[in-house]
Structure 1
Amino acid sequence: MATTIVSTVIVLGVLIFIHELGHFLAARKLGVTVLRFSLGFGPRLFGVQRGETDYCLSAVPLGGYVKMLGEDPEEAVDDGDRAQSFAHQSVRKRLAIVLAGPLANMVLGIVLFTVVFAVYGLPRLNTEIGTVTRDSPAERAGLLPNDKVLEINGRQLKAWDDLSETIQREGLEPLVLVVEREGQRLHFRVTPEVREVKNIFGETIQRPVIGITASGSFEVEKVSPFMAVVYSMKQTWSLTKLFFLTVVKLIQRVLPMETLGGPILIAQMAGQQAQEGLMNFLHFMGLISINLAVLNLLPIPVLDGGHVFFLLLEAVRRRPLSLRQLEMAQKVGMAVLIALMVFVFYNDIMRLIPTGLGVPAP
């Protein structure tokens, strides 16, 4: 329990701090006065005043905010302070300040992945075969469990993803596989078949397959610090696309809403990863950091993505939305956000209830 609490505080505290630090540094760099830098919402517990900024900790720890001069449309700003007011900056500058928060989380994800890859190495699911489907192209060609696929059509394979992608790309023609079996290199000619399979979202798709599954065995490839940066950027990009696609699949109801998780699920996973070791914990923190960046970029009022949408709309219309329109949008956005928070808390609580008590667990 103590490990779970401490690890959760570290994960949420660091991610929120970095996010708000992005907004803060961008605002300061562009000459906007920051009135408050708060970790948490609600009543101010304690803090310190430095110049024009109040650095404080607030009562509700689920979030944080940076309050800038002129950020509230109804706030009166003296003529002498307009140059330091957020509302009186150009659209370009305001966009930069708003986007700096999610960007800071992206950068943190890259840094954490780089540390993991540079220190521990790059974990890869290797190309060892776990099972061979009966009456499949692989079985007819003579492939066996525990065979390790080294090459397909002369292309060397480093990981199972390489194998899967090669079959999908070149699988409409016969493939020549080089396989390691008990220390020997053997050659097999396999003709894939197009079959219906499930993708990661549970959708039925058609793709070439040969009828094998991975054994689940991993290998760790040692990489240089430079390549650790390269691989971390690739992983960040892949995760960003995956998280955005997941949001789309949720909206399309391909993925059930019951799969959503909130702070309780994050706490459970943070505790589990902390017990697995520092590298696992840092990698998990990187995943959540990228997830937080994507979540904040969704075009929901009160989130950074909502502000970005309104600023782009202002740039197109060449004038901002009216105060009434902004207030209505903020109310709708807050209602959506509260409903979403209630729903994910419900999902988290239902996961804690043991099955068999007459209540279906999500």
Structure 2
Amino acid sequence: MTTLASIVIVLGVLIFVHELGHFLFAKWMGVGVLKFSMGLGPKLIGWKWGETEYVISVIPFGGFVKMVGQEDLKVQSPDEIKEEDKEKSFLHKGPLKRSAIVAAGPAFNFFLAFVLFTAIVIADGIHINIPQLGEIAENSPAAAAGFIKDDRVVSINGKLIKSWDEMVEIVRESSGKRLMFIVEREGKQVEISATPETKKTKTILGEEIAVGQIGVMNAGKVIAEKVNPVYAVYYGALETWRWSSFIVMGIIKMFQGVVSLKEIGGPMLLADMAGKAADAGVLNLLMFISIVSINLGIINLLPVPVLDGGHLLFFAIEGIIGKPLDQRKMEIAQWIGMGILGLLMAFAIINDAMRYSDGILNFFRKIIGYSV
């Protein structure tokens, strides 16, 4: 599958599911939907069914559901709605109903991730990286203790170890503490004592921390363990929560300056990653869609005007003060929100250009006839 086809599939699925959430909840709450658009910009194709026009547009990076009582970035007053439209107007619904409609988009993104994680586990099982040792670092606590390559850790301080991650977690939290390992070696169990030394390392988010290490590499052996559907549902929910927590923490660390803004990626990075995921197989592509779907859900919940989170903030304030916010102030806030998103997108595109500068230069050289 080509990179272009991969990114079209990924964005198509994510946008459709997100907007479907808004659409279905709007219908459920009795709000009229005038347009359901996949994509932005000029219309490629469209058809009308009932009161709703369904559209596929040129630019795949977005989509929207236009309801009765909505007018792009202009904030309409309930008084501007025609009398015959008020019953199905978004603006004439209470703050709770409007909040439900707006929150449904991100909620459907989380639900999609949950469904895909569950389906992946049912189809392929849970992949477990077994606690088998690869290379042993010279002059390390592991080398001094007598570990050798291909030892498989059975237990640490009497606790059974089933995965590499379990072993790493115990070792990292035991800096300077003596640990008693039982390893399986050539069919026999051998008892080995080792004390992890303190090392500085960086987390995946770029934060420097001190952890315990004994100086061993992972052998990289993975087994797939089949699970029943009930556990698969639990695992799907757990993975959705884990990835949500990780992405939220990444955003927090970015605001704290721990994670560089250079890590922000744009459409080129997304397309590249989608292409690589597709090349690795259908299940990898589904995993990628799940993670990006969670990302989309969380970003949309940020309290930035224009995003769903910004609307939810407005509705919450309206509920607290007991009346709608000033129209003009909301319009200004919407434009500020658009400006913030525009700057972030520009920053992401610049980051992409820096990441793929060689490829971009080669592309243009080919166009103008230079040899590469």
Q: Does the residue aligned with 1:354 lie in a helix, a strand or coil?
A: helix
* 1:69 partner amino acid: V
Partner in structure 1 of residue 368 of structure 2: none
Picking from 307, 332, 336, the partner of 1:332 is 336
Say whether 1:17 aligns with 2:16.
yes
Q: Does the residue aligned with 1:295 lie in a helix, a strand or coil?
A: helix
Picking from 266, 277, 285, the partner of 2:270 is 266
Looking at structure 2, the residues matched to 315 and 128 of structure 1 have their Cα atoms a distance apart, in angstroms, of: 57
- 8 Å CA contact 2:47–2:54 kept in 1: the answer is yes
Partner in structure 2 of residue 222 of structure 1: 226
Q: CA deviation at 1:236?
A: 0.9
- 8 Å CA contact 2:173–2:211 kept in 1: the answer is no
Say whether 1:210 aligns with 2:209.
no
Picking from 174, 199, 205, the partner of 2:203 is 199
Q: Indicate the percent of aligned positions where both proteins have the same amino acid.
A: 43
Looking at structure 2, the residues matched to 232 and 323 of structure 1 have their Cα atoms a distance apart, in angstroms, of: 42
Partner in structure 1 of residue 3 of structure 2: 4
In the TM superposition, 1:284-303 aligns within 5 A as 284-303=288-307
Q: Deviations over 1:27-63 (max 9, x none)?
A: 1111111111111122333312112111111232211
In the TM superposition, 1:61-80 aligns within 5 A as 61-72=60-71, 73-74=75-76, 76-80=80-84
Say whether 1:150 aligns with 2:149.
no
Q: Deviations over 1:257-307 (max 9, x none)?
A: 221112211111212221221111111111111111112112211111111
* Unaligned runs of at least 5 residues, structure 2: 362-372
Looking at structure 1, the residues matched to 358 and 219 of structure 2 have their Cα atoms a distance apart, in angstroms, of: 31
Partner in structure 1 of residue 186 of structure 2: 182
Q: CA deviation at 1:222?
A: 1.6
Q: CA deviation at 1:12?
A: 0.5
- 8 Å CA contact 2:180–2:194 kept in 1: the answer is yes
Partner in structure 1 of residue 110 of structure 2: 106
Q: Does the residue aligned with 1:95 lie in a helix, a strand or coil?
A: helix
Looking at structure 2, the residues matched to 89 and 97 of structure 1 have their Cα atoms a distance apart, in angstroms, of: 10
Tell me which moved more, 33-42 or 127-136. Answer: 127-136
Tell me which moved more, 24-33 or 226-235. Answer: 226-235
* Unaligned runs of at least 5 residues, structure 1: 358-362
Q: Does the residue aligned with 2:147 lie in a helix, a strand or coil?
A: coil
Looking at structure 1, the residues matched to 244 and 353 of structure 2 have their Cα atoms a distance apart, in angstroms, of: 27
Partner in structure 1 of residue 170 of structure 2: 166
Q: Deviations over 1:241-271 (max 9, x none)?
A: 1111111122222122221112211111212
Partner in structure 1 of residue 130 of structure 2: 126
TM-score by length of 1: 0.91
Q: CA deviation at 1:169?
A: 4.8
* 2:76 partner amino acid: E
Say whether 1:97 aligns with 2:97.
no
Q: CA deviation at 1:168?
A: 4.2
RMSD of aligned C-alpha atoms? 2.0
Looking at structure 2, the residues matched to 26 and 171 of structure 1 have their Cα atoms a distance apart, in angstroms, of: 52
